[in-house]
Amino acid sequence: MSKDVNALIKELAVLNTKGMYLNDFLLTWDKSDDEIRATFKVAQILRELREKNISTKLFDSGLAISLFRDNSTRTRFSYASAANMLGLEVQDLDEGKSQVAHGETVRETANMISFMADIIGIRDDMYIGKGNTYMKEVAKSVQEGFKDGVLEQRPTLVSLQCDIDHPTQSMADALHLIEHFGGVENLKGKKIAMSWAYSPSYGKPLSVPQGIIGLMTRFGMDVTLAHPEGYEVMGDVEQVAMKNAEAFGGSFTKTNSMAEAFEGADIVYPKSWAPFAAMEKRTELYGNGDDAGIKALEKELLAQNAKFKDWECTEDLMSKTAGGKALYMHCLPADITGVSCEEGEVAATVFDRYRVPLYKEASFKPYIIAAMMLTSKFAQLVNILLHAATTA
């Protein structure tokens, strides 16, 4: 067993993870400091073991159910990779090909897909007030099924993105920063600019910027949220960020200037999102089946976006960051000016320079998801990981 794995397992052993066992991972701010750090540690241990070709198939059998209500590449494959790495088989639930399309209730669906299932991963991010609520309803249903003896065990849920938070993304982003800066303790005092950026499309979820401000403020970082007037995120999440900043000795500020946000920043995260108010309106229109209203809203929002084409991560803006060398981050895919679109979130030269770090950023997600799975399913996780490492 490597010295690194030994050290990581010892660090994991002193953290209180009892509350994670048989519990779901839906919002990062519902997790304690120890639980957040434990997720990072387990992810790092799994990565070390895999790099040394040591098996991490800790499940003998079982299913990892996936339900994607929105398109996905990185998160879908990360979830499948995590399940495979741990010895679980992925089974996709296609609602269009299931009885859900015929009016089956959430309670019935949740129980019917959960026989011999260990994990349920759900992505439901498109409609305000719906995604996180749906996940909680599924969680309640499987808990009742377990209590009533319908299910021999209770599958735990992992949010693969909801309308409020994107925990697998923000946690992977944070682990990328931990590795980049040489430890979580080195994040304190670092400035991160979470900025809106122009996109020629509309309706991108709020959960990435909300996940970033809701998590990074826990590490004593100076977090700046930048966006044009009218592109506000959820007020409740801003409150989370402000409370975190106060509790952990960092700061949370807002600005309507991208240049101001980039000034002296150590990390920049330019990413488009739709205004909270517009997303609320879209949810209402979809609920009413108002196709004409949806088309009108889309036209209106595209015109609104077009007013802020200068909100682009350019070489000039990057020169204003700390030493002109801030770490550029993105959840991908980015709208790259002159490459994937005529005008977009980031200049091609900036994106190309950070391509390798961006791919590394994305590479942490399978390990984060696997860590969320393991911490929820094994009460004696330290002993299990130690056994896996020493018997290889």
Residue 392 pLDDT > 70, yes or no? no
First-to-last C-alpha distance (Å) of the chain? 8
For residues 252 and 217, the answer to whether their CB atoms sit within 8 Å is yes
Q: pLDDT tens-digit profile of 290-326?
A: 999 999 999 999 999 999 999 999 999 999 999 999 9
For residues 218 and 36, the answer to whether their CB atoms sit within 8 Å is yes
Q: How sure is the predictor about 222, in pLDDT bands with cuts at 50, 70 and 90?
A: very high
Residue 13 pLDDT > 60, yes or no? yes
> Rounded mean pLDDT of 143-152?
96
For residues 206 and 225, the answer to whether their CB atoms sit within 8 Å is no
Residue 104 confidence (pLDDT): 82
CATH 3.20.20.450 fits 3-165+365-390, yes or no: no
Residue 205 pLDDT > 50, yes or no? yes
H-helix or E-strand spanning residue 268: strand 267-270
Q: How sure is the predictor about 83, in pLDDT bands with cuts at 50, 70 and 90?
A: very high
Closest CA to 367 of 211, 179, 216, 209: 179
For the chain, what percent of residues have pLDDT higher than 70? 97
Average pLDDT, the chain: 95
Residue 97 confidence (pLDDT): 59
Class level of CATH domain 169-363: alpha beta
Torsion of CA 68, 69, 72, 78, to 10 degrees: -20
Q: pLDDT tens-digit profile of 37-71?
A: 999 999 999 999 999 999 999 999 999 999 999 88
- The full set of domain ranges for the chain reads 3-165+365-390, 169-363
Residue 94 confidence (pLDDT): 83
> Rounded mean pLDDT of 130-139?
96
Q: How sure is the predictor about 1, in pLDDT bands with cuts at 50, 70 and 90?
A: very low
For strand 117-124 and strand 63-68, is the pairing parallel, antiparallel, or unpaired? parallel
How far does CA 27 lie from the centroid of its chain? 9
The answer to whether the 3-165+365-390 and 169-363 domains have the same CATH topology is yes
Residue 22 confidence (pLDDT): 96
Residue 95 confidence (pLDDT): 77
